Amino acid sequence: MAFEELRPLWLVLRREYVQRVRSLSFLASTVAAPLLFVALAAAPALFPTARLPYPKHILVVCSTPGPARQIADAIRHWGVGRYRAEVTVGANPQEHERLIAMVRESRIEGFLWLDQEAIVSGHVVYMSRSGLDTVGRESLQTVVYRVLIRARLIRRGLTDGAINGSLEPVVVDTVSPPGMPGGTGDHGGIAVVAVTVTIITILEMSLLSYGIIVMRSVLEDKTSRVVEILLCSVTPRALMAGKILGIGGLSLTQVAIWGAMAAGGLTAAARMVGANLTGNLALGPGALAMLALFYVLGYFFYSSLYAALGAAFNSADEAQYWSFILTLPLLFSGMAAWSLFEQTDSVIALVLSLVPPLAPVMMSMRIAVGAAADWQIALSLALMVAAIYAAWTLSAHIYRVGTLMYGKKPSLREIARWLRYA
């Protein structure tokens, strides 16, 4: 780019940044979007409570009161599935039929049938209208298991003290060597997952949304017909670069704010569960710089393609199909990052992190968990730079011609022909 293009480029960059950073929509999306995201993520946890304004009523039926009471107490104590448990003694066929009728008539939610045979065989039936959710089933199974084990051990003559000692919970801590991700403490793995998921989500959302902002900015120039006035003062190349850099600066501002908010939130959450985030992650200054670099390169790659879309078409509606196509690699890399989260050292994870459209998310994920070797990062960077050069060259050609083309929606063949125009 020639020296005399730099000042107009700077002016375009400054305008794109300043007018957008001062807008209400930026403030709203920067502050409200993460809060909305957290609210949406947390909302499902509130659904069962909302569905059940009062505890469900279940009966624990047993031939003898001891085990049934222990189970009812444990259910009350643990709040298993938010059930209110009552004990009924007398596990006989008539009672069984009566309870089935009560379930049918919705007078109770269900009943746990603990006759002598069930206690001996260890096969207990819980009959209800709607069954149990996964957590509820697991919890109920644990409660029943512990009570029946205790009953069996008592029958074999063990004392309460001996039984309690035997049933002491076992804690398994997952630790990694110092300096490796995963860290120490039982919440180290959770911290890595939380931080990495946060990074992937921010990267994916930001790359997607800011690519579309670049496209809309180019479309605004074109549809408002201001572009020809601008092109009389600034080259198409400098205009496109100014837009991409200005909006890129805006995205970095937002990502930095989101990152700070996420770091604050995660640190607070980590303190609550007793985890040490800084000790658990491979995110030193070097890794953070690499994440920022991959984000910036990813932004350049996608935004230059989105700029071409904005230049080629006459409205966001016309560009919608190709805009959707462009989102696919980002969506795919997000899904791949999730599914390969525990296989970050695998060949497929490595290959995907080298493919330029997928690298910003995939390589960031691997860097965050410390699974990327230096040579892999270097190779991925080199491929990204080459891909950006190709995308930029292609987009600059389309931009130069497309911004002055009004009228009917161009076909792919027409756009390909533009590449030959001077």
Amino acid at 168: E
Among 1, 6, 7, 345, binds another protein (CB under 8 A): 7
Among 70, 235, 304, 380, binds another protein (CB under 8 A): 235
Residue 146 has φ and ψ, to the nearest 5°, of -65, -40
Q: How buried is residue 176: exposed, middle or buried, by Cβ count under 10 Å (0-12/13-18/19+)? A: middle
Coil, strand or helix at 113: strand
Among 3, 225, 272, 412, binds another protein (CB under 8 A): 225
If binding is defined by CB under 8 A, does position 316 make contact with another protein?
no
If binding is defined by CB under 8 A, does position 421 make contact with another protein?
yes
Tell me which residue has tokens 């995660």.
266
Q: Which of positions 86-115 make contact with another protein (CB under 8 A)?
A: none
Coil, strand or helix at 100: helix
**Rounded Cα distance, 231 and 243, in Å:** 13
Q: Can you spell out the DSSP letters for 144-198?
A: HHHHHHHHHHHHTT--HHHHHHHT----------TTSTT-SSTTHHHHHHHHHHH
If binding is defined by CB under 8 A, does position 1 make contact with another protein?
no
Among 6, 46, 120, 226, binds another protein (CB under 8 A): 226
Among 8, 249, 259, 265, binds another protein (CB under 8 A): 8
Q: Can you spell out the DSSP letters for 218-249?
A: HHHHHHTT-HHHHHTTS-HHHHHHHHHHHHHH
Contact stretch for another protein (CB under 8 A) within 76-84, 123-131, 218-226, 254-262: 218-226
Among 122, 406, 409, 416, binds another protein (CB under 8 A): 406
Amino acid at 154: I
If binding is defined by CB under 8 A, does position 224 make contact with another protein?
yes
Contact stretch for another protein (CB under 8 A) within 10-18, 125-133, 264-272, 303-311: 10-18
Size of the site for another protein (CB under 8 A): 25
If binding is defined by CB under 8 A, does position 186 make contact with another protein?
no
Among 101, 229, 335, 386, binds another protein (CB under 8 A): 229
Minimum Å distance from CB 415 to another protein? 13
Minimum Å distance from CB 232 to another protein? 4
CB atoms within 10 A of CB 326: 20
**Paired strand residues for 89:** 62
- The residue ranges that bind another protein (CB under 8 A) are 4, 7-8, 11-12, 15, 19, 220, 223-226, 228-235, 404, 406, 417, 421-422
